[in-house]
Amino acid sequence: MAKGWGGRAACTRISLAWRLMAQVWSSDRYTHMATTPIHDVGSSIGPYRIEELLGRGGMGVVYRATDLRLRRQVALKLLSPELSRDARFRARFERESHLAASIDHAGIIPVYEAGDAGGLLYIAMRYVDGRDLAQLLRREGPLQPARAIELVGQLAEALDAAHTGG
């Protein structure tokens, strides 16, 4: 089976389930939403305390947060208030987050929970400390063919698992 999913090599692991949902949603009217941070460091969203802003995109923001119930770090993806208020989007978010949570594969970051906190939709996933593929490429430049083939193989296995899962 593919190597490189644990330890520091986890930096190349892709949050596939979320990226698949984002790809689908980016094809419709939701791509224009604001991406400013919604909450400050130290504030709470449901059972999660925000520790650090990790990124922002067309659908919302991503924080490193602490799950106060289990005392573990999570990646907390908080959707924009505009999306959270849209009934059609909420139904789609619920369906697709359940699907994403059902996929069990070493190459797909697990979804712990999806929910609503004060009218805002969120998804909590395993927090992976490290670099993503884009950062790796910026830092190291083009990959050696053997490394690229290894990563593409891992990605193909993860995509196959996601496809099989629904």
pTM of the entire predicted model: 0.71
Q: Token digits for 153?
A: 């193989």
- Answer yes or no: is 142 within a domain: yes
C-beta of residue 22 within 8 angstroms of C-beta of residue 116:
no
- Answer yes or no: is 1 within a domain: no
- Answer yes or no: is 2 within a domain: no
Domain count, the chain: 1
Tell me the H-state helices in the chain. 16-26, 81-85, 87-102, 133-140, 145-165
CATH of the domain at 153: 3.30.200.20
- Answer yes or no: is 86 within a domain: yes
User: Counting beta carbons within 10 angstroms of the beta carbon of residue 102, is it exposed (0 to 12), middle (13 to 18) or buried (19 or more)?
Assistant: exposed
- Answer yes or no: is 77 within a domain: yes
Task: Please list the pLDDT of the chain residue by residue as tens digits (166 residues).
Answer: 333 333 333 333 444 444 444 444 443 433 444 445 567 888 888 899 999 999 888 778 899 999 999 999 999 988 888 888 888 888 888 888 888 888 888 888 889 998 888 888 899 999 988 877 888 889 989 989 998 899 889 888 888 887 776 5
Structural domain containing residue 52: 7-165
